[in-house]
């Protein structure tokens, strides 16, 4: 009899690949995998069947049905059923199972506290795409509780974080939950020397501009055009056919409709270009292409047998390098195709005008044209929302006209999506004077002469616009938030500046024992985006890290999910089928 089978909650399976891939599971006696759904499980003989699920009552209902059907088949008495809930056991789910009468069928019910999935050495994600929506549209604070729990587990490993800063309601709530959880632990605090000096909590609703702006870094563009999921991207396969090994004929590649590419910094080339502005990617790739050629040319220089042997030994590395250059050249081509086509450039130009605060108060003719041409609704909504936010809301007439045009062109079924955007604060009627001009000026959100090839300022990530969230982080270190209190008051939600008292045994190590001043050793700062962040924000923070010589801290980034304009708006939409 085979040993174990896993029944997955489909949403978990993807994120789980960061922790344990199929090969790993296989080497640990997992021989079969299924999905949780209200259908019968294929009959399969295993000793243990493990249901891995998020704690949601709907999923419990499906599990109940599956177990019931197993019992009818009579295949249940030979198996042991286990239920593992990720990230925590839910009383509600247990009650649900009890009501169904299957609670007793499980030999064990446990929790698997996987809250943060590591994407890169400086980046973790909770993979909660609906966190912002739940909070804004349904006033459901579940996400905040999980964020606080994940921070407690981070502190369990890396020690208490002495300084906590934050902006926005969600940031404050998370902090309060952390204080509460610390009290619940009583005296059982981790006796670990703090390794993270500051925690910066950024509520997504503080900066709604950045997710709506077009990201112009290499990785940001890949995500916008092709969606990166769990560090992999699926691209049209035919483009890659010639790049694969010679043995594969063109017929084979026809079957291969999509090609899956894993994107990670373990690939040196990608690590180098991922955060570059796209206009700098071309020259870098061509330089690398030349160096590939140069490496191969070295074979002519190899005179002696010894030299030849050295060359041959290097061939596998060179092959990998060559493959990597070829892959990214193809991706860059695919991106170029997209940026050159349609309304990408005019839309980008309009967006940059909006970001500079130009003509944001009336109905924009270009957007009207886009609507008339029935451009994808996301593109239109993204521009309108961006205009609305930088204008601090529309005049009622303007908003009305936009809505009417959208309903008339795209259909009434989008009515609820528009309602949701209003509720989420992305689309609203102006109240009071526009504050964007002040914020833009103080925070230096737009920079005119930014170098895209050799950047000296983070605004290169959007070719001239610096993400507000990342600027907040930058200004916290220097000149300090005290210098920008005016702007902090204009931004929504409270500002948080707190210190956590360390256990006395751990305090001596830290000289000042209190607030971290700018300069000095810098240390490590954890930036947590509550409600998600974009690749451009990640790039901007990495840019800050790259300047550690200027005394800033090294940034580690955590987020509830990585977003882009489309996925952000998608998460807020309400699909009605006409």
Partner 1 sequence: MAFISDWTQIGSDVFYRKHELYTMEWGGGINLGDFMVAAASYGGPIALTRDETKFTKTQQSGKPIIFVFSSSGRKISSFKWMSGYLLCLGWSRSEDLVCVQEDGAVSLYDMFGTYQHTFNMGQEVKDTQVQSAQVFTSHRETGVAVLSKSNRVFMVSNIYEPRTRKYPDIPSGVVECWCVIREERHTNVLVSQGNNLLLLNHLDQRPQALYPEWNEPGGCIVEMAVSNNSRHVALLSDTGKLWIGSSDIRIKYCEYDVKSQVKPKQIAWCGTGAVVLLWDMTLEVVSVNGDATSYYLDSTSHLVQEPDGVRVLGSTAHDLLQKVPLVVTETLGIGSMAPGALLLEAAKGFQERSTRANDCLAMIKDTLEEAVNHCLQAAQHEYRPQTQKMLLRAALFGKSFLPEINPDPCLPLTWNQLEHLTLPVLLDRLVFRRFFPLALQIASFLKMPESDGASRILAHWACYKVLQPSQKSDEQIAKEINSKLGYTPGISYTDIANRADQAGRKQLAIKLIEYECRAKEQVLVLMRLGEDQTALRRALQSGDTDLIYTVLHHLRQKLSSGDFLMFIRNFPVAQSLHIRSCRELDMEQLRDILVQEDDFHGQALLRIKEAYMSNRTDTRQASLQGAAELFRKAKNESACQMTEEQVKLVKWQVRLEDGQHKPYVNKSLYDTLHQLLIDGQIKEAEKLKTEFKIPERSKNSLLLLRHQTF
Question: What residue ranges bind partner 1 (CB under 8 A)?
Answer: 47, 55, 58, 77-78, 80, 88, 90-92, 95, 104, 134, 138-142, 144-145, 148, 173, 176-177, 180, 183-184, 186-188, 368-369, 372-373, 400, 403-405, 407-413, 415-416, 419, 574, 576-578
Nearer to partner 1, 80 or 272 (CB): 80
- Find, among 197, 136, 499, 479, the residue nearest to 488 by Cα: 479
481 within 8 A of 202, measured Cβ to Cβ = no
Nearer to partner 1, 372 or 548 (CB): 372
199 within 8 A of 528, measured Cβ to Cβ = yes
The nearest distance, CB 80 to partner 1, in angstroms, is 8
Nearer to partner 1, 141 or 480 (CB): 141
The nearest distance, CB 155 to partner 1, in angstroms, is 17
The nearest distance, CB 557 to partner 1, in angstroms, is 24
Q: 531: alpha, beta or left, given left = phi > 0 and alpha = psi -120 to 50?
A: left
The nearest distance, CB 418 to partner 1, in angstroms, is 10
Strands 2-8 and 46-53, by their bridges, are parallel
Nearer to partner 1, 36 or 473 (CB): 36
Q: Which two three-digit tokens encode residue 242?
A: 């010639």
350 within 8 A of 383, measured Cβ to Cβ = yes
Nearer to partner 1, 23 or 91 (CB): 91
Nearer to partner 1, 545 or 573 (CB): 573
The nearest distance, CB 410 to partner 1, in angstroms, is 6
CA distance 134 to 257: 36
The nearest distance, CB 109 to partner 1, in angstroms, is 10
Sheet bearing 30-35, strands edge to edge: 30-35, 2-8, 46-53, 80-85, 106-111
Give the CA angle between residues 225, 228, 233 to the nearest 5°: 90
The nearest distance, CB 408 to partner 1, in angstroms, is 4
The nearest distance, CB 245 to partner 1, in angstroms, is 42
Nearer to partner 1, 400 or 521 (CB): 400
Q: What are phi and psi of 279, to 5 degrees?
A: -70, -20
Nearer to partner 1, 184 or 246 (CB): 184
For residues 497, 502, 508, 512, the Cα torsion angle rounded to the nearest 10 degrees is 10
The nearest distance, CB 570 to partner 1, in angstroms, is 18
- Find, among 490, 426, 451, the residue nearest to 168 by Cα: 490
174 within 8 A of 151, measured Cβ to Cβ = yes
Nearer to partner 1, 91 or 301 (CB): 91
Nearer to partner 1, 398 or 539 (CB): 398
Nearer to partner 1, 10 or 176 (CB): 176
Secondary structure class of 551 (helix, strand, coil): coil
The nearest distance, CB 178 to partner 1, in angstroms, is 10
Give me the numbers of helices (H) and strands (E) for the chain, helices first please.
24, 17
CA distance 292 to 166: 47
The nearest distance, CB 334 to partner 1, in angstroms, is 25
The nearest distance, CB 126 to partner 1, in angstroms, is 15
The sign of the torsion formed by the CA atoms of 37, 39, 42, 45 equals positive
If you ran DSSP here, which 8-state letter would residue 215 be given? P
Could you give the maximum distance between any two Cα atoms of the chain, in Å?
81
Q: What are phi and psi of 466, to 5 degrees?
A: -95, 130
394 within 8 A of 388, measured Cβ to Cβ = yes
- Find, among 475, 500, 485, 494, the residue nearest to 164 by Cα: 500
Distances (CA, A) of 308 to 40, 297, 321, 329: 61, 12, 19, 29
If you ran DSSP here, which 8-state letter would residue 425 be given? T
Nearer to partner 1, 27 or 77 (CB): 77
- Find, among 477, 497, 472, the residue nearest to 487 by Cα: 472
Give the CA angle between residues 382, 386, 388 to the nearest 5°: 120
């Amino acid at each position: 009899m085979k040993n174990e089978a896993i029944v997955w909650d489909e949403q978990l399976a993807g994120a789980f690949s960061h922790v344990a891939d199929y090969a790993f599971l296989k080497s640990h006696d997992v021989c079969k995998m299924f999905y949780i759904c209200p259908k019968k499980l294929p009959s399969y003989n295993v000793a243990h069947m493990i249901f891995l699920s998020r704690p949601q009552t709907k999923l419990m209902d499906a599990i109940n049905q599956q177990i019931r059907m197993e019992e009818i088949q009579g295949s249940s008495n030979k198996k042991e059923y286990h239920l593992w809930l990720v990230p925590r056991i839910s009383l509600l789910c247990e009650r649900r199972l009890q009501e169904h009468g299957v609670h007793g069928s499980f030999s064990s019910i446990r929790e698997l506290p996987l809250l943060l999935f590591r994407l890169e050495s400086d980046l973790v994600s909770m993979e909660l795409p609906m966190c912002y929506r739940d909070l804004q549209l349904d006033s459901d604070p579940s996400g905040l509780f999980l964020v606080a729990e994940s921070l407690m587990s981070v502190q369990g490993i890396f020690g208490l974080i002495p300084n906590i800063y934050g902006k926005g309601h969600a940031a404050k709530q998370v902090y309060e939950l952390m204080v509460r959880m610390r009290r619940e632990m009583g005296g059982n605090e981790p006796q670990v020397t703090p390794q993270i000096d500051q925690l910066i909590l950024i509520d997504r609703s503080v900066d709604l501009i950045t997710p709506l702006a077009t990201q112009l870094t290499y990785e940001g563009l890949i995500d916008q055009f092709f969606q990166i999921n769990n560090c992999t991207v699926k691209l049209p396969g035919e483009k890659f056919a010639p790049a694969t090994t010679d043995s594969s004929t063109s017929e084979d590649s026809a079957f291969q409709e999509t090609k899956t590419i894993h994107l990670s910094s373990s690939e040196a080339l990608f690590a180098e270009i991922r955060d570059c502005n796209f206009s700098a990617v071309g020259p870098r790739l061509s330089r690398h292409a030349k160096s590939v050629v140069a490496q191969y040319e070295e074979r002519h220089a190899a005179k002696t047998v010894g030299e030849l042997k050295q060359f041959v030994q290097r061939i596998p590395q060179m092959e990998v390098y060559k493959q990597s250059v070829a892959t990214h050249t193809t991706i860059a081509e695919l991106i170029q195709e997209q940026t050159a086509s349609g309304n990408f450039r005019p839309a980008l130009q309009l967006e940059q005008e909006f970001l500079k605060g130009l003509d944001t108060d009336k109905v924009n003719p270009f957007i009207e044209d886009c609507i008339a041409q029935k451009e994808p609704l996301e593109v239109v909504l993204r521009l309108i929302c961006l205009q609305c936010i930088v204008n601090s809301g529309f005049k009622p007439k303007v908003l009305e006209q936009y809505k009417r045009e959208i309903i008339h062109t795209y259909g009434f079924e989008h009515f609820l999506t528009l309602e949701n955007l209003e509720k989420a604060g992305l689309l609203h009627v102006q109240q009071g004077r526009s504050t964007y001009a002040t914020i833009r000026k103080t925070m230096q959100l737009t920079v005119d002469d930014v170098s895209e090839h050799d950047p000296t300022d983070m605004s290169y990530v959007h070719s001239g616009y610096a993400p507000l969230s990342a600027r907040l982080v930058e200004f916290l270190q220097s000149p300090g938030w005290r210098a920008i209190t005016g702007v902090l008051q204009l931004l929504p939600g409270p500002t948080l500046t707190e210190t956590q008292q360390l256990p006395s045994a751990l305090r001596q190590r830290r000289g000042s024992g209190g607030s971290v001043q700018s300069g000095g050793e810098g240390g490590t700062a954890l930036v947590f985006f509550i409600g998600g962040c974009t690749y451009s924000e990640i790039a901007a923070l990495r840019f800050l890290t790259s300047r550690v010589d200027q005394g800033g801290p090294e940034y580690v980034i955590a987020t509830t999910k990585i977003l882009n304009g489309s996925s952000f708006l998608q998460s807020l939409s309400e699909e009605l089928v006409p």
